[in-house]
Structure 1
Amino acid sequence: MQNLIFGPIISRRFGYSLGIDLSPNTKQCNFDCLYCELKGAKTQDSMREVVPVGEYVDTISRYLRTHPRQKIDVLTFTANGEPTLYPHLLELIKTLKPSLPPHIKTLILSNGSLFWQQSVREALLEFDIVKFSLDSLNASAFSRIDRPHKSLNLESIKEGIATFATEFTQKTQGKLVGEILLLKGINDSPAHAKELARFLSHIPLSRLDIGTLDRPPAHRATPLSQAEIESFASHFTGICVYIPSRTPQDSQSPKRTLSRSELIQALSMRPLTQEDMQALFCESTLALADTLTRSHILQWEQVGNIAFLRPAT
C-alpha cells in the first residue's frame, strides 16, 4: 500500500499536520459533495477496501522514528472520503495514541454523518480534536449540496452531533470544531444561517469555520465572496467563528473605536482572532484589549492553530 501517510503540511487552522489517509487507493464516502475536489463517485455506506491497522501503525511509527526533528503539531486522520467509515478506527487510535509524543495531538476530519452510531462515537472520544461539517439543516439544501447515501437521514445526523458533543465535552478535554462550506444559491441565505445558528448555539463548539470553495470542485458550484461569507457569519453569536481569508484586509477601511463596555460586549457576541482585531479596531481599542487581557477580564482561547479573544470565564 502506498500513500498511507502524507505531509507534513502546514495547516493555517491546525499547524504542522501529518496526514493519515484511511482510504488511500480510492474514494470511499457516504457523501458526494458538490464542492469535493475528488472526482465524483457513487456513495457507499461502508468501506470496500480496508487497510489493516498494523500497516498504519508500522508506517506511522517508522516515520516518527526516522524523522525525530520534524515539527508535527497534529496527526490528522482523513480519507479519500469519510474516515469514520473505516471499520477499525477505535482499534487504530487506541493503538497509536499511547506511543505518540505528548506534543502531537490527534485530529479527525469528518463529515459528521455517522455520529449517531455508538461505535463511531466511542472511537471519536479518543481524539484530541474532532472536526465535523454541517452545511445545511434544510433537507432540500442538504441533499443538493452533500448528496448523501440513501441510508442517511438529516435528523439522525443532527441528533448524533448533539449526542456526541455532550459526551465529548463531558468525558474529555478535547476540542470540537464545526465547519460550514457555503455555495451560492444553495445554502447561503439568511434563513439557512439562522437555522444553523439556532442549532449550533446549543453545541459546545470550540470553533466554527465558515468558508466557501477554495479549490476546483468535481461538480459545478459557485463560491461566495468574502463579504457574503461575513454576512452569513454575522448570525452566529457567542461562537468562535473563523473565516479563512485569501485577500488582504483593506488598510484604508475605517477602524472602530470602542469603550471598555462596548469592547467586552462585542467580544461576547463574536470572539475575534488577532487578525480580526487588527482589521476592525483602532490603536487605542487594541491597547484597551491588551489592558483588559492583562487584567484577566479578556482571555485568549487557543483552538488548534487559531486563537480567539473573548471575555474571561
Structure 2
Amino acid sequence: MTQLADLIKKTLQKPVIIDNKQVALSPSIGIALFPTDGFEADVLLTNAQTALNEAKNTGRDTFCFFDHKMSDEARKLLNLEQALRSAIGDGGLSLHYQPKVYLANQEICGLEALIRWQHPKLGSLSPAIFIPLAEESGLIIEIGAWVAEEACRALARWRDAGLSLPRVAINVAVQQLEQEEFPDWLEALVLRYNLSLDNIELEVTETGLIHNERGMLQTLNALDKKGFRIALDDFGTGYSSLSYLRKLPLSTLKIDRSFVMDMSYDNISHSIVQTIIQLAQNLNLDLVAEGIEEEEQGQKLLAMGCQHAQGFLYYKPLPESELIKLLRP
C-alpha cells in the first residue's frame, strides 16, 4: 500500500501544461483503509480527511495513513471549529485597535483592527490559534466579512459621536482576494455606512500572495482603482519582495517587527531597515515600522527617515471603550 501511495504521489507531481505554462503540483494524500479504519463510506472519508490534514501539517507533499490516535486531536479541532462558527454570530468575536503614531510626536495617525475571540470555556484565544483553523475550514471568508463590517460600524459610531476618524487598517485573507466580487462588495459596504473609501486600508501579506499571484493582483488592482489604500504587511520576509513593489498597487509598506527588534545589535537587520526606508521614499510610499518596544528603536527609525510606527512602546491593542478616550478632540 505504501508503494501504491508513493506511485500516486509521484504521478501527481509530474508537471502539466496549463495556458502554455508548466505547472508542478505538491500533493498531500490522506489514506484510510477498509475495514481497519471504518466499515462505512462516510467514516472512511472522515478518517481519510483527518489523515490528509496530518499530511499537510507535517510539511505537505507527502502521504499519511490514518491513525486512531489522530481522532482525538481531530475531534478537538472540530469542536473548536464549531465554536468559532458560533462565535461569528453570537458576539464571541470582537475587535481591538492598535494605534499607529507619527514618530516625531507620537500623535495617532491610524489604527490596525485586530480580531479577538473570547471562547466560552477556554477564555481568550490567540489569533495564532484560531486564524489558521479559520483558513483551513473556509471560515476565514465569513470572519473577514465580519471584521470589515465591524470596522465600518465602529467608524460610523465614532463619526456620529464627533470623534476624530483615523484611518483603520484591516487584514485581508488570501481567500477573500480570490473572490471576484470582493472589491464591489467592500465598496458597497463602506458606502452603506456613509464612509469614504480612504477611511479603510487593506493589509495583505507577501507570503499570502504567493499562492495565487495572478488572481489576487487583479483583485488588488480593482480595489486600488476604486480608491482603497493597500498596505504590504511583513515586508522583507517573503521570497520576492522587490518584484511585488513593481507589481502591486501599494500605498504603504510595513517593516516586519523581526528587523526592527534586531537592528540595535545586528548590522544586517539595521542595513535592511535602512534600505526599506530608502525604497519607500524613492517609491513615494508611506512606511510603518512594526513592533517598536524600546525608545532607542524609535529614535533610530526617525533618524533614518521613517515617519510612522506601531508597537507596545506607544500603544497595545485596545478595546473600543479605551480607544475612544484617545479619539476625543
Q: Which has the larger radius of gyration?
A: 2
TM bracket, shorter-chain basis: 0.3 to 0.5
TM-score (norm 1): 0.44
TM-score, normalised to structure 2, is 0.42
Larger relative helix fraction: 2
Bigger relative contact order, structure 1 or 2 (CA pairs below 8 A, ≥6 apart): 1
